[in-house]
Amino acid sequence: MGGINTKFGLLSEEYLFREIESRRVAYETAHPAERIISLGIGDVTLPLGRCVTGAMALAAKEMGTLRGFHGYPPAFGYPFLREAIAGAYAERGVTLSPEEIYISDGAKTDAAIIPQLFSEVPVLVTDPGYPVYRDMGLLSGHRVRFLPATRENGYLPLPGDLEDIPQVICLCSPGNPTGAAYDRAGMETWVAYARKSGSLLVWDAAYAVYLPSDAPHSIFEIPDARFCAVELGSFSKSAGFTGVRCAWSVFTEEVLFDGQPLALLWRRLKSTSSNGVSYLTQRGAEAALSEKGREECERKIAYYRENAARLSDCFFHLGWQGLGGDTSPYLWLECPAGLSSWEAFDLLLTRVGLVTTPGVGFGQTGEGHLRFSSFARREEIMEAVRRLRRVFSK
């Protein structure tokens, strides 16, 4: 007898950010006069760059002509965008063929389907970690194992004494939610472990633009990664594309799992599950990678970095322990007064009018923590700082 996927029973009732949204809406409805500031979901607030909107407007005009009309996009992306992304990697000394880059509508979409490439392989995720790796690993029938990311290991777990068995290992650097970023030595350790154990690294680099320029931004800066890693990248947090939707994955021709070339299976999976990303969007993304586009992105990133610095300064004055903000748009804080994540979430919502993300939503090890996003308007950050200081200063 068939039925619904019983693995839903392993998930929480709501996806983390939907649950937060429901609580925010319920609170706002009950307190219409209060001005709530959202530092919860990492959703950008600055408008798209002029270079991007110009390219998209031009693409829209083209689409209104017989010659310039485009139907279904190529399944893995237009060559112009795949080439532009390969060009950006080349500037960091990473050689990728444009055919090894696959365009999608989000790193989340790619992370969600990767588990379908495997059958009954352990999926290893950091705890805390981005909930999509865990939830989609479970839904696809894999055993999900957790690697604790704690203050003791600098929130950057290493393979240590992990057994040498093939597994799918999901790592995000700089990390969501902690903001901690692996250095070259850490990345080399993971690549060496993946090679030795026959494992695959799923390297989520969605926040890499927040790293200092001399830090490694891509797992492919470690040469052997070509054989044992795939990478996810995104325009969401660099070019402000959370609402436009454009991202990419890298599957090299050499990456194997269980002796099988994964790129072949990835092409099969992607062309079956998606019809790609619109021409307008891809022209916008291409423009974001142009010289002018990059200047615009840099200005946005600097703005969010400054937001993060102001929050970080506030937490330092309040004596709250945590990290992040310097290499990532997120700050990861231990809850004040020993509160649980949801207790602290409620306290901040009701006393400060601030929406945050409860750390436990990212895994049990995240209990007792909160994540703050710096993707807000400056005046909101300043107001949040004022309120936090008023309520929590001793």
387's CB contacts (< 8 A; 6+ apart) are 37, 352, 353, 354
Positions 196 through 215 that interact with ligand MLT (CB under 6 A) = none
Task: Note if the bond before 177 is cis, omega within 30 degrees.
Answer: yes
Smaller CB separation from ligand MLT, 41 or 318: 41
| Interatomic CA distance for residues 350 and 372, integer angstroms | 16
CB of 237 to ligand MLT, least distance (A): 8
Positions 167 through 186 that interact with ligand MLT (CB under 6 A) = 176
Smaller CB separation from ligand MLT, 38 or 140: 38
Neighbours of 100 (CB within 10 A): 25
CB of 136 to ligand MLT, least distance (A): 12
62's CB contacts (< 8 A; 6+ apart) are 68, 69, 70, 279
CB of 38 to ligand MLT, least distance (A): 11
Task: Answer yes or no whether residue 134 interacts with ligand MLT by CB under 6 A.
Answer: no
Smaller CB separation from ligand MLT, 199 or 365: 365
| Interatomic CA distance for residues 366 and 389, integer angstroms | 24
CB of 331 to ligand MLT, least distance (A): 13
Q: Please pick, from the candidates 23, 82, 108, 217, the single residue that binds ligand MLT as defined by CB under 6 A.
A: 108
Task: Answer yes or no whether residue 265 interacts with ligand MLT by CB under 6 A.
Answer: no
Q: Please pick, from the candidates 11, 36, 41, 46, the single residue that binds ligand MLT as defined by CB under 6 A.
A: 41
Smaller CB separation from ligand MLT, 167 or 274: 274
DSSP secondary structure code for residue 8 in this structure: G
| Interatomic CA distance for residues 381 and 183, integer angstroms | 29
Task: Answer yes or no whether residue 24 interacts with ligand MLT by CB under 6 A.
Answer: no
Taking CB atoms, the residue at the shortest distance from ligand MLT is: 42
Closest by Cα among 40, 107, 43 to 304: 43
Are the CB atoms for 20 and 357 separated by under 8 Å?
yes
- Measure Cα distances from 167 to 136, 193, 225, 330 in Å: 15, 11, 15, 28
Task: Answer yes or no whether residue 38 interacts with ligand MLT by CB under 6 A.
Answer: no
Task: Answer yes or no whether residue 192 interacts with ligand MLT by CB under 6 A.
Answer: no
Q: How far is CA 58 from the centre of its chain?
A: 29
3-class SS of residue 268: helix
C-alpha atoms less than 13 angstroms from C-alpha of 28 in its C-beta half-sphere: 12
Q: Please pick, from the candidates 42, 115, 157, 174, the single residue that binds ligand MLT as defined by CB under 6 A.
A: 42
Task: Answer yes or no whether residue 21 interacts with ligand MLT by CB under 6 A.
Answer: no
Task: Answer yes or no whether residue 369 interacts with ligand MLT by CB under 6 A.
Answer: no
Task: Answer yes or no whether residue 382 interacts with ligand MLT by CB under 6 A.
Answer: no
Smaller CB separation from ligand MLT, 182 or 375: 375
Task: Note if the bond before 157 is cis, omega within 30 degrees.
Answer: no
Q: Please pick, from the candidates 7, 17, 27, 53, the single residue that binds ligand MLT as defined by CB under 6 A.
A: 17
Smaller CB separation from ligand MLT, 176 or 178: 176
Contact positions vs ligand MLT (CB under 6 A): 17, 41-42, 108, 176
